[in-house]
Amino acid sequence: MRCVRLLFAVLLLAPLSLPLAAPPAAAREVVAMTGGSPGQIIVRTGERKLYFILGNGRAIRYPVGVGRVGMQWSGRSFVQGMYIRPAWSPPAAVRRDNPHLPDYIPGGAPNNPMGAAALTLNGGEYAIHGTNRPGSIGGFVSYGCIRMHNRDILDLFNRVHVGTPVLVTR
């Protein structure tokens, strides 16, 4: 009987603990979308959302982390490279702010900020990539790269190819 009461108390109180947890960033979803071409990526930094255009007025919308104030950019680009578990070397601006970082972090390492995959953009300065900090998704958090949940970058990775057009707007 004591076990039954304990189980009942756990089941009764479990829903009360849910609001105490931080709400996760909204999951990817198919939404209505006008504009863009099928197969194009559109990032709206002000919304902190990335859209993959499906066509017929639909897109997959993903939550993302974007550039901090002063580190945001807008413009047209395209996917120049595609990498699973990429290694990472901190760019000069990141190294200036974080001199303790190693020169090189191997792919798959828990401290590698690129996460599960990366789509490098033309010019090589920015990428759309996973993250080792999922709580940063939905914020203004990066040096200009677009961060995604690892499961989302893997989903997007399988939908795009080198040459996929990318439009970043504010």
Residue of 3, 100, 145, 161 with catalytic role? 145
Best CATH choice for the domain 24-169 from the list 3.40.50.1000, 2.40.440.10, 3.20.20.80, 3.30.1380.10: 2.40.440.10
Average pLDDT over residues 126-145: 96
Q: What is residue 99's three-state secondary structure?
A: coil
pLDDT digits (tens, 9 = 90+) for 30-88: 999 999 999 999 999 999 999 999 999 999 999 999 999 999 999 999 999 999 999 99
Picking from 93, 46, 90, 50, the residue whose alpha carbon sits closest to that of residue 69 is 46
Q: Is 100 a catalytic residue?
A: no
pLDDT digits (tens, 9 = 90+) for 36-52: 999 999 999 999 999 99
Between residues 26 and 77, the one the model is more confident about:
77
- In percent, the amount of the chain with pLDDT more than 70 equals 85
Between residues 21 and 34, the one the model is more confident about:
34
Residue of 100, 129, 149, 161 with catalytic role? 129
DSSP string across 26-62? PPPEEEE--SS-TT-EEEETTTTEEEEEEETTEEEEE
Give the confidence band of 26 by pLDDT, cuts at 50, 70, 90. Answer: low
pLDDT number for residue 92: 92
**Per-residue pLDDT at 10 exceeds 60:** no
pLDDT digits (tens, 9 = 90+) for 110-123: 999 999 999 999 98
CA 80 to CA 112: how far, in whole Å? 21
Q: Is 3 a catalytic residue?
A: no
Sequence ranges of the domains in the chain: 24-169
**Per-residue pLDDT at 149 exceeds 50:** yes
